[in-house]
A and B are shown apart, each in its own frame.
Chain A
């Protein structure tokens, strides 16, 4: 167990594993995402209340789901950085923050465009939308703080603290639709109950969520590889890897 933990902390070992996983993550992600989207756009029945505008759900829910889930992963990595000083955890936080930012923006954008025909307005300052906007600012703050501090170790510690403080926002987003009156509809998927939609709607939704998860995995591996290369460029194995790659 400890040996595995130590290996996991080794940038060289991770680099190799990531290289082997990435083709599968990319292929699987694109396949599942496209299947979910094509099914959702063209084959799923239309909603009896919202008509066809509900088809935005097949990208709105995956991006919103991932935006929060990426933040939780970052928080776990931040704890690991602070407690065990594991380099890879810090590399992870730094690498995926911009991905989280894009996903959060996409969920807000698709939500606003869906809101116009459904609620009659692009934006309301209610709990769900506002807490999601705060998540966007948190991602922006993490990126800015990391860039503002030159020393790698101080940057890692400051960013970890910010990520952990911000994690309080996640349950607020999650329960905002139940705690406050809001225009936003309740969650489609709950762990304890059956989905409130027919299978022809929730199966493609599940496919696109899984597909986007795999694509996120690919992006995380790729961006972590970049960060590792830059940080470890003085080591023997990076030199061998770089020079071997160009024959």
Chain B
């Protein structure tokens, strides 16, 4: 160890505030960047999944409305 005690380590002979401010900002921004990037990827995956589900839902709806139309036509022809 380059320091005799923990408090000497924190104070760093008066340079403590400068050194610790730098390390605090460094960790804050780096961790922030990493968390933000992770969240962005997960959000992209989620957005893709919703897009596919929406598409699948629309296809089902189209299929359903197509059969309903043919049913109506049958009904009209009976009248």
- Give the interface of A toward B (CB within 8 A): 37, 41-46, 51-53, 55-56, 59-60, 63, 98-99, 102, 105-106, 109-110, 113-114, 116-117, 215, 218-219, 222-223, 225-226, 229-230, 233, 238-239, 242-243, 245-246
Contacts and interface: CB of A to CB of B under 8 A. Distances in A.
Name B's interface SS. helix
Interface in B18-53: 18-19, 21-23, 25-26, 29-30, 33-34, 37-38, 40-41, 44-45, 47-49, 51-52
B18 A56 contact: yes
Given A42-B3, A46-B2, A226 B19 contact: no
Q: 4 tightest A-B contacts by CB?
A: A52-B12, A53-B15, A226-B41, A52-B15
A246 B21 CA distance: 42
Contact of B52 (A99, A223, A229, A243): A243
Interface of B: 1-3, 9, 12-16, 18-19, 21-23, 25-26, 29-30, 33-34, 37-38, 40-41, 44-45, 47-49, 51-52
A114 B44 contact: no
A120 B33 CA distance: 31
Contacts of A52: 12-13, 15-16, 19
Contacts of A59: 22-23, 26
Contacts of B14: 51, 117
Given A222-B38, A242-B48, A102 B33 contact: yes
Contacts of A233: 48, 51
B2 A45 contact: yes
A226 B23 CA distance: 29
Contacts of B18: 53, 56, 113-114, 116-117
B71 to A, nearest CB: 32
Given A42-B2, A116-B18, A230 B26 contact: no
Given A56-B22, A106-B26, 20 more contacts: A42-B1, A42-B3, A43-B1, A44-B2, A46-B2, A55-B15, A59-B23, A102-B33, A106-B25, A109-B25, A113-B22, A215-B30, A223-B37, A223-B41, A226-B37, A226-B41, A226-B44, A229-B41, A229-B48, A246-B49
